Every structure is written in C-alpha cells, then in structure tokens.
Structure 1
Amino acid sequence: MSTITTKDGTEIYYKDWGKGQPIVFHHGWPLSGDDWDNQMMFFLEKGYRVIAHDRRGHGRSSQTPYGHDMDTYAADVAELVEALDLKDAIHVGHSTGGGEVIRYVAKYGKGRVAKAVLVSAVAPVMVVSENNPDGVPMSVFDDIRLNTATRRTQYFKDFTFPFYGYNREGAEISQGVQDNWWRQGMMGSIKAHYDCVKVFSETDFTEDLKNADVPVLVMHGEDDQIVPYTITALKSAELLKDGKLITYPGFPHGMPTTHADVINKDLLAFFQS
C-alpha cells in the first residue's frame, strides 16, 4: 500500500495513478478515496494524473483517536502534496471533502494549486447559529452522532437512501452502490466518524472561500437531502473571488456516483477552460 506518515505519526493511504496534470480527490464522510472510482478512471483515461487519499481515521489510513478537525485534515493534505511534489494541481472535494479542499487551498495552496472544485460541499457552514439563521438545526447532527455511536452498522445502510436519492419516487436503486458505501464506511474508525460530524457541521469556511485565489467551480444537486444547496452552494459562490456555480435540478448528494456522466463532463470542461 502507498502511504505517507505525517508529522504526528499518522499513516495516510493514497492512490496515485497516471501522468499529466494532477487531480487530487477529497472524499466525504464517512467514506474513503474509493468513492471517486468513477472519476479516477474517467480522468486517468483523459491523460490526467489522479490521486485520492483516505482521510485520517477513514478507509485504510490510521485509526488515530486524535486530529479529527479541519485544520489537521488540511495539514495532512499539505503533507501528501509536498511528499508527491504536486504542482499545478486541481483539487476536487465532495461534501466534507469540499470543506477540506477550500481550507487547504486558502491555507497551503499558493504556488501549487491551479483550480478547485466543491461538489455537494458543506461550505461555508452547515449548522444554525445567530450568524447562520437558515442553517441546519444542531438536533440533526446530534442524531447523526447518536446513530453513528450506537447503531453504525444499520445506520450506514439506512443513510444511503437519502444520500443517493433512493427514497424518491421512481428512483433506480443500486444495491451495489449501497453496499459499496457501507463497505467504505465500515472500513473506517467509529471514533473518527463520530468526531467528524462536528467538523462537517460546525466548521466555518467563510474566510477560506474569501481568500481562495484560484478559479473555483461549485457544483450542487438541488435535491440534496444531506447538504441543502441553498445554505451552502449559493452562499459559497457569492463569497468566492473567482467562482462558477452549477446546480442540478433533481440531483442528490451522491451525484458523482448516480450522475457520473454529467458530473465528469462538467468537470472536464472546467479543467480545460
């Protein structure tokens, strides 16, 4: 297995295929780099170098009990990028991974990043507060925490229905997609998954979005039941200096899997623009 060891001793697993301009894929909660299989194959065949890592505590990376905060996630990415000496890279993040991308770009990306993409991302901030009155109630995230801590095996099966829009009338349900989501989730650490709920719900990326100095594409499904696009994508696009927004009527949170053909085409157009 290909791994790097970070300064605090955590092993970060990664896949690194091909040659050409690098694309770094950042996965969402509670998954792994395997969630980008459709994109990895597509862009590898288009002549790009494709890289996907497993966030600490997720997938095949160390199940460390510490470091589950967005600053550490971004620092881990910076160490991976430095170890692989990636330059002119495009960073693509889904959900929590979108937050990781914009934090990395703002804090470490100067001179190494060409473009960034936020897909169904949690930025600028999810949870309701005085400054974010239309956010998601804390009770929603408390419920995710409780179910992750006490009944993760079944909860991760149940979670795939809203994640992929499989609870919508007429949806074409793929058991294989559901099983693969569950497989990825169960590979990771229950402690990391529990702690990460706070990270994806409460981290404020407002200043990261404002400080991003590269072109950023924001992509979001309008039927996202996990991360509502009105409180995330629409606001993120307004905060970016050089942002482009694409929303997709009817698309779910897991649209890179359910609608890979559309997402891959739009990603390629942005990369080549």
Structure 2
Amino acid sequence: MGTVTTKDGTSIYFKDWGPRDAQPIVFHHGWPLSGDDWDNQMLFFLDQGYRVIAHDRRGHGRSSQSATGHEMDTYAADVAVLTDALDLRDAVHIGHSTGGGEVARYVARAAPGRVAKAILVGAVPPIMVKTASNPGGLPIEVFDGFRASLVANRAQFYIDVPSGPFFGFNRPGAEVSQGLIDNWWRQGMQGAANAHYHCIKAFSETDFTEDLKQIDVPVLVAHGTDDQIVPYDDSAPLAAELLRHGRLKSYEGLPHGMLATHPQVLNPDLLAFVTGEASRPGR
C-alpha cells in the first residue's frame, strides 16, 4: 500500500499487490465505497499471477478529504497521476458503477500504451439522469432524494442502500448477507460527507457519450438485468453500442452489487475477457 500526491495536494491511497513485472489490473470502486470493495477480485486475479491495484477515490476511504475536485475530470486526472507514478503499461482497468464512469473518462484520455483493455461492471455510462437526449434516464428527483437522505442521516442511509436495492436484498427469496451490509456501511462512513454529496452529481449527470466513442481498446460491458441502482436498459446496451470494440454481457436477474453477491459467476468471465479467451458474449 502507499499514496501518491496530486497537483492540488490531495493524497490518493492505493493498494498494490503482486509481481511488479506482471500485467496490472487496476480496480475503480463505486460510490461511496473504497478500494476494499474489490478484495474478492483482487485476491482472485492475484492468484492468477497478475499485479492488482486498487485506489480510494479522493474523499473516499483513506484518501484525503479534499474540499474540491469531486467531479469526473479530476477523478480521471487522479488516476493518471497514479498510473504515471507506478508507470503502469498495458493495464486492464475495471470499474464498477461510478468507477465505470471514471474508467471511461480515464481510458478515453490515457496516453498510448497505458491501457490494454477495460471492463465496465454495472457502470453509469452513458448517462444516468433523464434529459431531452436521454429520455430513458432517471428523473433528477431520484438523485435529489439521495442528497437529501445523505444530509439528513448519512449513517442510516448507508444502511438502507446495501440492505435493499444495492445487493438486491429487497427481492423475495434473496439470501441476505449482514457482512456485506456492514462492510458497505464501514467503507461509506470512512469517507467524507462532502465528497459523497458532490459525487452524486458526478455519477448521475456526467455524460460519457464522447468518452465511449473515443475509446479504442476492447471493452467488456457487464451488467445485471435486475440492477436497481443503474437500470440496465438505459446503460449497458447503450454503452456497448457507442464503443468501437465493445462486448455486452448481461446477467439475468443479478443486482447492482453482483461482484460481491456472485463473484463465482463474475470472476471467471472477467478473467476470460482479460486473457482474450472470451467469445463475443451476449444476452
């Protein structure tokens, strides 16, 4: 583990495990979590011989609780500082939810040779909020509600989200894991309230359409069809169509937090794409 310092003095915490000469896999977490959300995948890819790296976004986890920079341009710039400092080349960047937006923006702007492939899991691109050009998006009132709940009682909000829609534990017959709920709460409360508040705008209102069009490396778009946080129909299929080398993989009935609830399903598919063994997947 270590830290890198950005131009505005923000300290970005990261974990870096595995052989330094192995291909790097870089993990980008969702809101309002930290690099710890990738423990299962990091251990899985570490066992496969990869170098695995996960950072805490500014204002999240163990990174600095900065006053500014809680938008996608700065998030992507912070990733560039990290990858430059570690001199990562031919890396695979995997992002979940908000982290998928961060991946899209970073990869679209990355220097040649830095990125080999990317994976977007339950990711926010192309854009979440409903607009004239995105009529299938969620109304702004949904995200206003997120902000109001965070301000009113962040600690309770961070129990309610994982207990319900994030992991699909509100569905009939769901196998509820109190450990996942508690770990979600722990990661969320470790971060800064101001960063989490402003990040809601970043993940919901940022339009990644042009980023997706510019990406020129293979990208796997993986999404659960019962995602209650980033609805499937207005995200994954649209993102895959915008990508030059996109592959869509749909998971019938799986929730937003499927990486944690179904790692035995997701991890082999991620590995197959990384190694190039995956045939073109579809729904």
Task: Give the TM interval when normalised to the shorter protein.
Answer: over 0.9
Give runs of aligned pairs for residues 229-240 of structure 1, distance below 5 A: 229-240=232-243
> In the alignment, which residue of structure 2 is the partner of 1:264?
267
Report the Cα distance in structure 2 between the residues aligned to 1:186 and 1:170, rounded to whole angstroms: 29
What is the rounded CA distance, in whole Å, between the counterparts of 2:202 and 2:112 in structure 1?
24
1: distance between equivalents of 2:230 and 2:251? 14
The match for 1:171 among 169, 174, 194 is 174
* Matching residue's letter, 1:17: W
- Structure 2 distance, partners of 1:107, 1:115, is 14
Alignment correspondent of 1:132? 134
**Take 2:197 and 2:150, find their aligned partners in 1: how far apart are those partners?**
6
Q: Counterpart in 2 of 1:17?
A: 17
47, 52, 55: which one aligns with 2:54: 52
Could you tell me which runs of 5 or more consecutive residues in structure 2 were left unpaired when the two chains were aligned.
Answer: 277-283
Please report how far the alpha carbon of residue 252 of structure 1 lies from its aligned counterpart in structure 2 after TM superposition. Answer: 0.2
State the one-letter code of the partner of 2:250: T
Quick one: which amino acid aligns to residue 5 of structure 1?
A: T
3-state DSSP of counterpart to 1:236:
helix
1:192 aligns with 2:195: yes
Instruction: Give the whole-Å Cα distance in 2 for the aligned partners of 1:253 and 1:133.
Output: 21
Amino acid in the other structure paired with 1:239: L
What is the percentage of aligned positions where both structures have the same residue?
A: 67
Measured after TM superposition, the shift of residue 249 of structure 1 is: 0.6
- Following superposition, the deviation at residue 110 of structure 1 comes to 2.5
Q: Structure 2: which amino acid aligns with 1:4?
A: V
Looking at structure 2, the residues matched to 111 and 57 of structure 1 have their Cα atoms a distance apart, in angstroms, of 29
SS class of match (1:37): helix
Whole-Å Cα distance in 2 between the matches of residues 64 and 125 of structure 1? 25
Matching of residue 162 in structure 1 with residue 181 in structure 2: no
- Give the drift of 1:133: 0.8
So what's the TM-score if we normalise by structure 1? 0.99
Cα distance in structure 1, aligned partners of 2:182 and 2:191 = 15
Specify which of 244, 248, 266 is matched with residue 245 of structure 1. Answer: 248
Within the alignment, does 1:202 sit opposite 2:205 as a pair? yes
| Equivalent residue for 1:73, pick from 72, 75, 80 | 75
Q: What does residue 123 of structure 2 align with?
A: 121
The Cα shift of 1:109 comes to: 4.4
In 2: Cα distance, 1:78 partner to 1:27 partner: 16
C-alpha distance in 2, partners of 1:109/1:269? 25
Letter in 1 for 2:193: I
AA of the residue aligned to 1:138: I
Distance, in Å, in 2 between the alignment partners of 1:154 and 1:112 is: 40
CA distance in 2, matches of 1:189, 1:234: 33
Alignment partners' CA distance in 1, 2:251 and 2:208 = 23
Distance 2:197 2:169 in 1: 24
Spell out, residue by residue over 1:210-245, the C-alpha distance to the aligned partner (whole angstroms, 9 max, x if none): 000100000000000000011010100000000000
Runs of 4+ in 1 over 4 A off after TM superposition: none
Report the alpha carbon displacement of residue 111 of structure 1 after superposing the two structures with TM. Answer: 1.7
